[in-house]
Amino acid sequence: MREQYAALPPGSPIRLAKKTSNLFRFREPAGGGLDVRRFNRVLSVDPEARTADVQGMTTYEDLADATLAHGLMPLVVPQLKTITIGGAVAGLGIESSSFRNGLPHESVRELEVLTPDGRVVVARPDGEHATLFRAFPNSYGTLGYALRVSIELEPVRPYVRLRHVRFTDAEQCAATIAEVCAAREFRGEPVDFVDGTVFERGELYLTLGSFADRAPGVSDYTGRDIYYRSIRRKEIDHLAVRDYLWRWDTDWFWCSAALGAQHPVLRRLWPKRYLRSDVYRRLVALDRRYGLSTRIDALARRPAREPVIQDVEVPVGRLAEFLDFFHSDIGISPVWLCPLKLRNPQAWPLYPLDPDELYVNVGFWATVPLGPGQPEDTHNRLIERTVTELGGHKSLYSTAHYPEDEFWRLYNGTAYRAVKSEYDPDGRLPDLYQKCVRAQ
């Protein structure tokens, strides 16, 4: 990596050369860049210390397989197999263990980072590079690239027992989320995982998962059966722990339907190895690049559509209010819910959540028709304003539309600029606003 860096023209911009991404800021492919593809291995797993040393481009699929072999898992395993640990730490990740384990970067013990000024530094919660350690989450590669990450692990059991609990009222659902996350139990049974699915205004489900040593039988959602559809028809379900971790990946939550992968005939023909989120994302990237669906809509005289692909965090006490707005003004369904609370009260300055607050991540990924004369960012801007009004925050893996002054107020521009000036004094990487709003 140092040799590659030294070969770059002095002062030239730096970028990564890699084939995959889980970001939804689509850009034209560019040549060159630092080749980090070989930084993709689990270096070691220590079953006694419950830690792992992992290279930054390692996917969570490979990481989970390495740790499950020892009866362990990362504290938070994001939903999609090809999310890399470096990406989850530099961006944000979340899953159903986040109500008790926070976000992926909170289980990091140290980071080995290639900084934009050419150094390789080891950043820890204290010591010389502590400010870089704390600012790295939500920096999206603008402060450097994680070459190695040391993380904590937790023990697992062979199975996860699921309870799908239905609600007809969003306020009652939010109140139950708060109660379950505080008590870590529901109706006398322990709860290790919590997430939810909103199918429509009066049909919400919480899925409460508990580790189990035995199961009367296990479901398989890696082929013809589709996980999210089971939520409506099964009160109790059981999955092997690996299948639980990847229950959403096979159908990219429910978004594979837009690509025809849930049609019964096509499902039988679609090779099982290609029922994966990374395959679907490549198809979407091709569509965005060549404008195929836009052309079809134009030929059919259908209204233009705005991609609304977002994850936002709102305080649990404002969840019902947000969902009411969302059903009325946006209209996407289903919607994913995932509660989270910071595990570590130390400051994470670039994504400033209140450590005493329980938040609920609301995820929605679809397109919305635009009305006559509406700008192409109409619905995304409306969501951003509403989230801010409700005291929430928005993840930056997809498009953002904030004016620059508001962006830096929400994402702590003062703290960011101080770290940026220390580790990238020549501006060889774009800053966070350029990367996440201007898509540079």
- Per-residue pLDDT tens over the stretch 286-323: 877 777 777 777 777 788 889 999 999 999 999 999 99
pLDDT of residue 27: 57
pLDDT of residue 10: 80
Residue 182: CB atoms within 10 A of its CB come to 11
pLDDT over 90 for what percent of the chain? Answer: 82
| Average confidence (pLDDT) over 60-83 | 97
Q: How far apart are CA 298 and CA 205, in angstroms?
A: 37
Q: How far apart are CA 200 and CA 283, in angstroms?
A: 27
pLDDT of residue 123: 97
Residue 362 confidence class, pLDDT cut points 50, 70, 90: very high
| Average confidence (pLDDT) over 133-160 | 96
Q: How far apart are CA 110 and CA 235, in angstroms?
A: 41
Helices then strands, each counted (H, E), the chain: 16, 18
Looking at the whole model, is its pTM more than 0.75? yes
Alpha helices for 257-310 (secondary structure H): 264-269, 277-290, 292-299
Tens digit of each residue's pLDDT (9 = 90 or more) over 215-253: 999 999 999 999 999 999 999 999 999 999 999 999 999
Q: How many CA atoms lie within 13 A of 421 on its CB side?
A: 6
Taking phi over 0 as left and psi of -120 to 50 as alpha, with beta for the rest, 141 belongs to left
- Please work out, in degrees rounded to the nearest 5, the angle formed at the alpha carbon of residue 204 by the alpha carbons of 213 and 262: 75
- Of 20-34, 219-233, 274-288, where does the model show the most confidence? 219-233
Name all domains of the chain by residue range, CATH numbers in brackets.
Answer: 2-156+414-436 (3.30.465.10)
pLDDT over 70 for what percent of the chain? Answer: 96
Specify the DSSP class assigned to residue 391: T
In this predicted structure, the answer to whether residue 28 has a pLDDT above a threshold of 60 is no
| Average confidence (pLDDT) over 337-341 | 98
